[in-house]
Amino acid sequence: MKRPTIRLGLGGRFTLLLALIGMLASGLTGYYAFSTSRSLLVTAAEQRLLTATHVLVRQLVVTLEGVVRDVRLLAGHPLAAEALAATLAAERERAEAGIDALFAGMLATRPEYFQIRLIAAADHGLERVRIDRDGSGLVRVVGDERQEKGHYPYVYETLRQPTDRIYISPPTINHEEGAHAGLGKPTMQMAVPIREGNRVLGLVVISVDMNRIFEQLSAELPANIAFMLTNRQGDFLVHPDPAKTFAFDRGQRVQVQHEFPATAELLAGEPGELVTVTDQPGQGRAVAAFVKYRFAAEYDHRSFILGLSQPLADVLADSDTVGTATARIVLAFSLVSIFLAILLARAVIRPLNQMLCSVEHFSSGEARTPLPVQRRDEIGVLARSVDSLQQQVDGQMAVLQEKQRELDHLASHDSLTGLPNRRLFLDRLAQALARSRRTGEPLALLFIDLDHFKEINDRLGHGAGDVVLRAVAERLVAEVREIDTVARLGGDEFIILLDATEDRAVIAKIAGTLLTLLAAPVDVGGESVAIGGSIGISCYPRDGANATEVIAAADKAMYRAKHEGRNGFRFASEV
């Protein structure tokens, strides 16, 4: 009679305990899931907005760089200089006719351009060739209708520019008389001077329809995401409220730092990014992401801030649905917990089956299953013993796996610098070449050999040479992108794989930066040791059809650079 009483009492206590644990776990999990979901929704919205902002910045930069290429193309055309320098009327008229046709063709294919002009430095900046857009057609401005523009900044500032510089005006509302389609519209001028020797003949200027560019950028954004763009002072050029755009043209100041105070530091500092959640008057809280971009020195360091914002209420709209679903799940799991508690209390044999199942899974290498280690009877002691044994085995396996990973790392990396060794580099190069053949994207190799490294070893010893090699490795890794690979082939030879790169100017800039880094002295035991390097550059597929040929081409170019005086770089195509 006593055993059934003890069994029922134990079973009841287990039932109550397991039911409470199950309900508490379900409730806490549901609450945590609901709270976490709201936080994740905000975080995800911030990341989406920031990513979309970077994409729009890149699109805007690409668009403006296209305008730069066009104005350089037009300014570099021989007829432009001929039309400005010609002394005979017939020669000038012939050259101007050719430029007129060239400008008209450009406007016909570039709907985002309002106007293209050839302006002389002489005659107070007289327009020599001018094509305007008017509605859907083009207007050729001739004769006395051409105006003197020497008093406009885009003329006199451009004429002072060096040949390699681009004048970019701040975006403004166009108030020039007779501007046709561009009159009263947001406009930006880009201009390039035209020179003959040391003499400035004039310039080519393109007036850009900023509204069309803004519309292209924001065309595919969802309706609940606001698109904003400001100049370097923070004045709105684009805003969901049209009354806030180009307010400075009306003598007002409507700036992003007043609406989003966190952007004040971004305006005052270097280019970067910002994500903020702030209150907007009359609109509630909003999530916003901003990116500040600054053009290179050749564009006079013009900068802008582009931002996207989304109402926080829209971001959290799904959390209510998640809350309701979570409550239902918690209730369902609580009922299941009660039902399982009853079953577990009555199934005395189940803990033994659990231990058997756990041992079988563990021995076969599968994931460990739970054990009834919370029991205080003989079954609990046995379960804890099995669990302890499994933990010891897991610990030993973890140590063995860590050792194996260390061996794998040593086999594929240079022990001195930690860089990929020749084997790993060749493997990555093979993958990059396969990808390049598939996608058509080019790649480049920079073969680097340190100058006078043997002299450092001979004079200061191999320990000093090791310090130099580690310093060089750190400088190279810090300079390249994450997608690029820096490897040590052996001795004082390093090699860099630049993925998806073929622009000769970009590669030359990278090589020049690397040479500057290598030229910086290294402190070895209190002594400043000067080093340098010679770089050979090869590109796929131009300089080789496979890994061996591309490496050999870079190696040959490096030796040419070393032969020609060291501390320089040469392209394989120049050898």
Q: What is the pTM of this model?
A: 0.53
Q: Are the C-beta atoms of residues 475 and 513 closer than 8 Å to each other?
A: no
Active-site residue set:
492
The answer to whether domain 76-208 and domain 213-315 are alike in fold is yes
Q: Are the C-beta atoms of residues 344 and 350 closer than 8 Å to each other?
A: yes
Instruction: Report the distance separating Cα 525 and Cα 200, nearest Å.
Output: 56
Q: Of 165, 161, 213, which Cα lies nearest the Cα of 187?
A: 213
Q: Of 148, 161, 147, 233, which Cα lies nearest the Cα of 190?
A: 161
Q: 213-315 has which fold?
A: Beta-Lactamase (3.30.450)
Classify domain 422-574 by CATH number: 3.30.70.270
Q: What is the DSSP code (8-state) at residue 255?
A: B
Q: What is the pLDDT of residue 357?
A: 72
Q: What is the pLDDT of residue 448?
A: 93
Helix H or strand E encompassing 487: strand 485-490
Taking domain 76-208, whether its CATH number is 3.30.43.10 is answered by no
Helix H or strand E encompassing 200: strand 199-209
Q: What is the pLDDT of residue 192?
A: 92
Give residue for tokens 């914002």. Answer: 309
What is the number of alpha carbons within 13 Å of residue 41 lying toward its C-beta? 19
* Dihedral sign (CA 554, 557, 563, 566): negative
319-336 in b/e form (b: 16+ CB < 10 A) is beebbeebeeebeebbee
- Which residue spans within 210-363 are E strands per DSSP? 226-230, 236-238, 273-280, 284-294, 303-311
448-493 pLDDT per residue, tens: 999 888 888 888 888 888 888 898 999 999 888 888 899 998 888 9
Instruction: Give pLDDT < 50 ranges for the chain.
Output: 1-8
Instruction: Report the distance separating Cα 474 and Cα 488, nearest Å.
Output: 12
Question: Which tokens in the block code for residue 12?
Answer: 């009841």
Q: What is the pLDDT of residue 536?
A: 93
Helix H or strand E encompassing 447: strand 443-451
Instruction: Report the distance separating Cα 331 and Cα 177, nearest Å.
Output: 73
383-402 pLDDT per residue, tens: 777 777 777 777 777 777 77
Classify 70 in phi/psi space as left (phi over 0), alpha (psi -120 to 50) or beta: alpha
Q: Are the C-beta atoms of residues 330 and 32 closer than 8 Å to each other?
A: no
Amino acid occupying residue 182: G
Q: What is the pLDDT of residue 7?
A: 45
Question: Where are the domains positioned within the chain?
Answer: 76-208, 213-315, 352-406, 422-574
Q: What is the pLDDT of residue 33?
A: 74
Q: What is the pLDDT of residue 559?
A: 92
